Structure 1
Amino acid sequence: MTLHSAAVLIVHLALAVVGLCLIVIDARTHRLPNRIVLPTLAALIPLVVMEALATGDGGRMTRTLLGGLALGVFYAVLRLASRQGMGGGDVKLAAVIGLVLAWHGWSTLLIGAAAAFLLGALHALVLMALRRATRHTRIAFGPWMIIGAVLAIGGTYAVLSA
């Protein structure tokens, strides 16, 4: 294992721990705390720049930063379109997830973003079918964003190792 591979593994493990904490918090409280999301975002940006300097891969850095910006802006537009939909925490988490997914590639970003909406919709439909929710029930979306990202990253590695 190279030093770069070890660093990537450590960062992904740290993100998994942060993701698990956020899933639990959002599922219980419908909040994604700034004290967790913002430091994660603030730590990822210099890591991406340092990786680009160490590997000489400026293209990956550009894609990663653009991906974080793009997904964050997309969620901000959704938030502005309906205050009852996305929360501010979802917007900030989208920037984090966009960075991580785009680091793996544009297709991983698109799959992870789409998976979040698909999983969230399926969850809502199951709750409605069980009569545990209505169209107006608030459902935490952060867990689906994180799970969608994990599935997209896992799928990327499964395809690459096949």
Structure 2
Amino acid sequence: MAPHVLVVCAAALWGLATGSAVPRTAHRLAAPGADHESTAVSRAVRIRSALLGCLVCAALGQVVGVRPELAVWLLLAPVGLTLARVDLTAMRLPDALTLPAAAGTALALGGAALLPAHAGSWPRALLGGLALGVGYFGLMVINPSGMAFGDVKLAPTLGMALAWYGWPVLLTGTVLCFGCGALVALVLLATRRAGRHTAIPFGPFMLAGTLGGVLLGAAAH
């Protein structure tokens, strides 16, 4: 079996295994202090989450291939899925994930940059993380009701992942984040499932746009 096929299969299995654990982890983070021993996550929810994790990781394996940064993206995938679920459930992005993710991504990409066949730049990734973090902080200052501090804390991780492949990828991924958010908001308004003042979690759109940007950036390299 070709090495690339093995990588995709391994990535898919990783996504399947970690994705199935996302709902329970997300519930614990969304409702700290609750009686988690008595909380059961339905089998259907676990299956859907596992399939989503499998799809995300398989796509990363297919596009990124055998490059060393694939390990970083695969480690971030379950973290991103957990953050998205917590934000959708509790409208927050917990520090327990966002802060370690930023530090871990910086260190892991530094390690990937030391290995042959990598397709990115570690210094540019660090600068991209800083730039996106500052940009989101500025948006929060300008419009506190439209941007939460949890989004600001998540931004450096996503900025590093995108800028690893280049400044155009950082721009593309950021546009995808806001484009996805605006599109969903318009659909919700049109279907009257939300009003002009309804709070909509932005974390899932940040994560989805970043995934799209990383896939596009890896495909271009």
Q: Do both share a fold (TM > 0.5)? A: yes
What number of residue pairs does the alignment pair up? 158
Letter aligned with residue 24 of structure 1: R
Amino acid at match of 1:8: E
Q: Residues 51, 10 of structure 1: CA spacing in aligned structure 2 closer, same or farther, 3 A cutoff?
A: closer
Structure 1 segments unaligned to the other structure (5+ residues): none
Q: Which amino acid aligns with 2:70?
A: L
Q: Which amino acid aligns with 2:78?
A: V
Instruction: Give the deviation of 1:66 after TM superposition.
Output: 0.6
State the 1:155 CA deviation. Answer: 2.0
CA offset digits 1:84-133 (Å, max 9, x no partner): 11111100111110011001111111000010101000000000000111
Aligned residue in 1 for 2:132: 71
Counterpart CA distance in 2 for 1:158 and 1:48 is 18
CA distance in structure 2 between the aligned counterparts of 1:6 and 1:152, rounded to whole angstroms = 17
Counterpart CA distance in 2 for 1:47 and 1:13 is: 11
Q: How far apart are the structure 2 equivalents of 1:138 and 1:120?
A: 12
| Matched residue type, 1:126 | V
Residues 1:154 and 2:215 are matched in the alignment:
yes
Pick aligned residue for 2:154 from 93, 100, 109: 93
Equivalent-residue separation in structure 1 for 2:97 and 2:157 (angstroms): 11
Q: 2:191 aligned with 1:130, yes or no?
A: yes
Range moving further from structure 2, 41-50 or 84-93: 41-50
Q: How many Å separate the matches in 1 of 2:124 and 2:69?
A: 17
Evaluate the alpha carbon distance shift between residue 64 and residue 159 of structure 1 in structure 2; reply closer, same or farther with a 3 A threshold.
closer
Q: Which amino acid aligns with 2:174?
A: A
Report how far residue 135 of structure 1 moved.
1.4
Q: Aligned-pair distance for 1:61?
A: 1.7
Normalising by the residue count of structure 1, what TM-score does the alignment of the two structures yield? 0.88
Give me the CA root mean square deviation: 2.2
* Percent identical residues: 45
Is the partner of 2:198 in helix, strand or coil? coil
Structure-1 residue corresponding to 2:96: 35
Letter in 2 for 1:95: P
- Normalized per residue, the structure richer in helix is 1
Taking structure 1 as reference, are residues 156 and 50 closer, same or farther at Cα in structure 2, changes over 3 Å only? closer
Distance of aligned partners of 1:100 and 1:65 in 2 relative to their CA distance in 1, 3 Å threshold = same
C-alpha separation between the residues in 2 aligned to 1:86 and 1:68?
17
Deviation track 1:26-54 (CA, whole Å, cap 9, x = no partner) reads 11111000001101111112223333445
Structure 1's 14 and 52: CA in aligned 2 closer, same or farther, altered over 3 A? closer
In 2: Cα distance, 1:53 partner to 1:155 partner: 23
Distance 1:50 1:159, change over 3 A: closer
